[in-house]
Amino acid sequence: MADRKKSGSDPRPAHTVRASGDSAAARVYVGDCRDLLRRIPECAPLGPQQDTRWANGGVQLIFADPPFNWNVKYDKWHDAMPREDYLDFTRAWLDACIDALTPSGALWVNIPDDTAAEIVVHLKSRGMTMGNWCIWHYRFGQNTQSWFINSKVHALYFVKDADNRIWNADDVLEPSDRATTYFDPRTIEKKEGKAGLRLPMDVWYGQYWGRIQGNNKERRANHMNQIPEVYLERVILATSNPGDVVLDPFLGSGTTATVARALGRPAIGIEFSAENAQSAAERIRKGPVRVGLARNQSTAIFAPRGVSERALAQYRQRLSEASET
């Protein structure tokens, strides 16, 4: 990384978690991501450039879950900006993320209805290609009498180059409805893909996919907007490889870095609050609690209709035999 051109001196991480066994290293920085994304060595553009907006950094995957500007009482951050100020802030950190990505890099943004459209328009104007507009659906929405209850957040998947990107389909397959609900023999005999499995659809929901609250094992104190580990596990497995650098510019409770490190991806986290950064580093060291538990589980929204146990047993036997051949 010595040939990277950086603005100012390299910042020092507030917390470093060393690699251990199959787990990769992680670093946590404290500060504003708009500044730090330009200065962390892996994020800094390569060599001299005339237009830094189109420079390439060394980060393969960025997952961003920014403040929503919903007047949440964060430790340090002011979450009630005037609308135009918030949009300026959003465009600034998006541009810094784009510059930090490798030519084959991917950017995921977790964002509510309020700003999803503006983010999509801006990223497209910057030459990014949309891969998917996914929905994270959950049952526990905030109760209201004024509107329909919100029960989703948008998971926007963008890449720098649609023809040169990482896409690990086999790592995120799940049981298909044809296999688990209809016991369609074609799922056993299909010539492409794996018997009984499919790629997930673009609405994500199921066991372990709910909002992190109450006595949930993943819950961290003083964090109201945690994302479930299975969400990050799917994103990281599908759009990065072991050894790739994964970055979260709004680290929060540390979910992204915790899951990335456990999956063998070196992680970088940026957090505005020193207190939250300390808590995230502790979580990263401990490791995840649910990584691997939800793989090969269907995330279909609708429960399967009742079926004959005998038919199900026969189908599973045929599926097992097909998988062994």
Q: What is the DSSP string of 256-325?
A: HHHHHHHTT--EEEEES-HHHHHHHHHHHHH--SSTTTSTT----SSPPPP--HHHHHHHHHHHHHHHH-
SS3 65: coil
pTM equals 0.84
Residue 5: its pLDDT value, please? 42
More confident residue, 313 or 40: 40
Residue 1: its pLDDT value, please? 29
Interatomic CA distance for residues 263 and 282, integer angstroms = 17
Q: Using an 8 Å Cβ cutoff, are 188 and 175 in contact?
A: no
Residue 96: its pLDDT value, please? 96
User: Over the stretch 101-144, which tens digit does the pLDDT of each residue have?
Assistant: 999 999 999 999 999 999 999 999 999 999 999 999 987 767 77
Residue 279: its pLDDT value, please? 92
Assess whether pLDDT exceeds 60 at residue 200.
Answer: yes
More confident residue, 118 or 294: 118
Assess whether pLDDT exceeds 90 at residue 12.
Answer: yes
Report residue 52's pLDDT band, with 50, 70 and 90 as the boundaries. very low
* Proportion of the chain above pLDDT 90, given as a percent: 56
Q: Using an 8 Å Cβ cutoff, are 253 and 226 in contact?
A: yes
**Average pLDDT over the chain, rounded to whole?**
83
Residue 74: its pLDDT value, please? 74
CATH superfamily of 15-172+205-294: Vaccinia Virus protein VP39 (3.40.50.150)
- E strands, the chain, are 15-17, 26-30, 59-64, 101-111, 129-137, 152-159, 174-175, 197-198, 203-204, 246-248, 267-271
Assess whether pLDDT exceeds 50 at residue 300.
Answer: yes
SS3 24: coil
Provide mean pLDDT across the span 282-299: 78
Q: Using an 8 Å Cβ cutoff, are 107 and 60 in contact?
A: no
* Proportion of the chain above pLDDT 70, given as a percent: 75
Interatomic CA distance for residues 61 and 256, integer angstroms = 11
List Cβ neighbours of 249 (8 Å cut-off, separation of 6 or more). 33, 36, 37, 62, 64, 66, 93, 96, 97, 270
Residue 50: its pLDDT value, please? 41
Interatomic CA distance for residues 109 and 132, integer angstroms = 11
- E strands, 8-78, are 15-17, 26-30, 59-64
Residue 208: its pLDDT value, please? 76
Domain residue spans in the chain? Answer: 15-172+205-294
CA quadruple 207, 210, 212, 215: dihedral positive or negative? Answer: negative
CA quadruple 65, 284, 107, 230: dihedral positive or negative? Answer: negative
Residue 49: its pLDDT value, please? 47
Q: Which of 8-17, 32-41, 120-129, 231-240 has the lowest mean pLDDT?
A: 8-17
User: Over the stretch 251-289, which tens digit does the pLDDT of each residue have?
Assistant: 999 999 999 999 999 999 999 999 999 999 999 999 998
